[in-house]
């Protein structure tokens, strides 16, 4: 959450950082949407994850099974990158909107108050 100054104003450096984050997230999402190489990478990651899902029961060594599980979650993490950047982008835009329109938006107080 962005800190407020003593006069209850959002410091400009915090707004600048938020604007920079919005720009970064938009860039990542846009590039991943348009990049043909990312489509191939997604297809390959899905195939590798499915391979683990299809053959986990054949792994009898507990250590290897644990490693296969770790690898599967690494594949899932990579497959979800675009969604995570999109979520971060949406959240950052909501924050920016709340800071730019303080009369219409109330920022959530995480200390328990409304």
Reported as a single tens digit per residue, the pLDDT across 8-32 is 556 677 888 999 999 999 999 999 9
List C-alpha distances in Å: 83 to 4, 28, 40: 30, 10, 17
- Position 66 in a domain: yes
pTM of the complete model:
0.73
pLDDT digits (tens, 9 = 90+) for 33-67: 999 999 999 999 999 999 999 999 999 999 999 99
Predicted confidence at residue 87, as pLDDT, reads 97
- Position 109 in a domain: no
Predicted confidence at residue 1, as pLDDT, reads 47
**Quick one: pLDDT band at residue 76, thresholds 50, 70, 90?**
very high
Is the model's pLDDT at 92 over the cut of 80? yes
- Position 114 in a domain: no
For residue 16, give both structure tokens: 């600048």
Predicted confidence at residue 73, as pLDDT, reads 96
Residue 48, domain extent: 12-100
- Position 107 in a domain: no
- Position 4 in a domain: no
- Position 7 in a domain: no
Is the model's pLDDT at 108 over the cut of 70? no
- The number of folded domains in the chain is 1
- Position 55 in a domain: yes
- Position 59 in a domain: yes
């Amino acid at each position: 959450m962005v800190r407020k100054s003593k006069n209850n104003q959002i410091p400009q450096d915090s707004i600048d950082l938020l604007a920079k984050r919005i720009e970064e997230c938009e860039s990542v999402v846009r590039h991943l949407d348009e990049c043909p190489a990312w489509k191939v990478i997604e297809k390959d990651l899905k195939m590798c994850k499915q391979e683990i899902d299809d053959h986990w029961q054949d792994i009898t060594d507990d250590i290897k099974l644990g490693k296969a599980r770790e690898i599967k979650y690494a594949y899932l993490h990579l497959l979800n990158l675009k969604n995570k950047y999109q979520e971060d982008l949406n959240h950052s835009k909501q924050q920016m909107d709340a800071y730019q329109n303080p009369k219409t938006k109330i920022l959530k107080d995480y200390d328990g108050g409304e």
